[in-house]
Amino acid sequence: MSSRLRQWADRLDQPLFCGPAEQQDEIVAWFPDRQEVASLAVMALRAGNETQSFGLLVIGNHDPNRFQSGMGTVVLEQPGRHSRCLAVAGAAGATGGLKRP
- Report the alpha-carbon distance of residue 30 to residue 25 in Å, rounded: 9
- Are 62 and 38 a contacting pair, CB within 8 Å? yes
Average per-residue pLDDT in the chain?
73
| DSSP annotation string for 39-52 | EEEEEEEESTT-SS
Asked if the model's pLDDT at residue 94 lies above 50, the reply is no
Mean pLDDT, range 15-40, rounded to an integer: 87
pLDDT band at 39 (very low <50, low <70, confident <90, very high): very high
Q: Is the pTM of this model over 0.85?
A: no
Q: Which of 17-26, 32-41, 68-77, 88-97 has the lowest mean pLDDT?
A: 88-97
> Considering Cα of 19, then 22, then 24, then 30, what sign does the dihedral take?
positive
% of the chain residues with pLDDT over 90: 8
